[in-house]
Amino acid sequence: MLRVIFWIVLIIIILLLLLRLDYSLGRKSHLKKQVDEEYPLRNSDISLYATGETLFSALFSDIQNATEHIHVQFYILEDDQVSKDFVALLQKKSEQGVKVRLLLDWVGSHNVTKEMEKDLTRSGVSLAYSNKPNFPYLFYKLNARNHRKVTVLDGKTGYIGGFNIGKEYLGEDPKFGFWRDYHLKLTGEGVADLQTQFLKDWHDTTKDTVENRSTYFPQLSKGKSQTRFISTNGAYLEDNFVSLIKQAEKEIIIGSPYFVPSNQIKEELINAAKRKVKIRVLLPKKPDHPFVKEAAIPYTEELSKVGIQFYMYTRGFYHAKVICIDDKLCDIGTANFDKRSLYSNYEINCYIHDKDMINEVKKVVEEDFITSIGLTRERINELKSEKKFKIKIATWISHFL
Residue 88 to residue 94: CA distance in whole angstroms: 10
Q: What is residue 272's three-state secondary structure?
A: helix
Closest CA to 350 of 327, 318, 324, 319: 324
Residue 175 to residue 168: CA distance in whole angstroms: 9
What is the CB neighbour count within 10 angstroms for residue 378? 8
Is 154 part of the annotated catalytic residue set? yes
**Are 286 and 258 in contact, with CB atoms under 8 Å apart?**
no
Please identify which of the residues 93, 141, 185, 321 carries the catalytic annotation. Answer: 321
Would you give the end-to-end CA distance of the chain in angstroms?
Answer: 35
Is 147 part of the annotated catalytic residue set? yes
What is the CB neighbour count within 10 angstroms for residue 326? 16
Q: How far is CA 152 from the centre of its chain?
A: 17
Is 99 part of the annotated catalytic residue set? no
Give Cα separations from 136 to 33, 139, 261 (angstroms).
15, 9, 29
Exposed, middle or buried by CB within 10 Å (0-12, 13-18, 19+), for 11?
Answer: exposed
Is 321 part of the annotated catalytic residue set? yes
Residue 397 to residue 401: CA distance in whole angstroms: 7
Please identify which of the residues 69, 93, 147, 185 carries the catalytic annotation. Answer: 147
Please identify which of the residues 149, 156, 293, 339 carries the catalytic annotation. Answer: 149
Residue 336 to residue 386: CA distance in whole angstroms: 26
Please identify which of the residues 173, 326, 390, 399 carries the catalytic annotation. Answer: 326
DSSP conformation letters of 196-254: HHHHHHHHHHH-PPP--HHHHS------SEEEEEEEEESSSHHHHHHHHHHH-SSEEEE
Task: Kindly state the greatest CA–CA separation across the chain.
Answer: 75
Q: How far is CA 119 from the centre of its chain?
A: 28
Is 79 part of the annotated catalytic residue set? no
Is 319 part of the annotated catalytic residue set? yes
Closest CA to 343 of 23, 103, 73, 15: 23
Please identify which of the residues 22, 62, 154, 338 carries the catalytic annotation. Answer: 154
Give ∠ CA 90-164-351 in degrees, rounded to 5: 110
Please identify which of the residues 93, 156, 319, 339 carries the catalytic annotation. Answer: 319
Q: What is residue 229's three-state secondary structure?
A: strand
User: Per DSSP, what are the bridge partners of residue 161?
Assistant: 183
Please identify every residue annotated as catalytic.
147, 149, 154, 319, 321, 326
